[in-house]
Structure 1
Amino acid sequence: MDLKQVEKISKALSDINRLKILQYMQKNKGKLECTHACNLLSLAQPSVSHHIKKLVEAELISQYKIGRNFHYSLNNETWDTYQVALKSL
């Protein structure tokens, strides 16, 4: 993992709402439905979408669509690579 990717992930992790999303996903077997994220954060849907988009762009979570709803899962490979990269700094 190059330093640019480490920076992108670190910036994605620098927001409390994104950390809450990730914390919830850890407790929920690495899964999240978009509707649960709105309830979890008590934010409007556009704000939640913004936070989720940042996590997807950083490749910390993956998104997929089932019917009309988006679902998300933790990207454990990126997490593991990120941790290794931080240790090597």
Structure 2
Amino acid sequence: MILDIKKVERISKALGDPYRLKIMEMIKKQNDNWMQCACIADNIDLAQSTISHHINQLVDADLLIAEKDGRNAKYLVNKEVVTAYVNFLNQLKG
């Protein structure tokens, strides 16, 4: 997968917030298992609406894959996009 500049910009902005980075870390630590939104909320001291905003930013940047699970949502790190982003950054170092 090759990312265009707009996509790289969107990902960079999404990762520019410490809470979003923490959310990504928490989900990744699930060893490739889906993480429920409620579990994320239990581990971050923010209002549910704020957590939802952060998660939406990560989903919009394609960093997280979202899936409905009944009335709840669950999330998984999108490894393909993360790998493409890292590859893009590695190209910058020459």
TM-score by length of 1: 0.94
1:2-81 superposed matches below 5 A: 2-30=4-32, 31-81=34-84
Runs of 4+ in 1 over 3 A off after TM superposition: none
CA contact (8 A) 2:65 2:78 kept: yes
Structure 2: which 5+ runs fail to align? none
Q: Percent identity?
A: 42
Give the number of aligned pairs. 89
Alpha carbon RMSD of aligned pairs, Å? 0.9
Structure 1: which 5+ runs fail to align? none
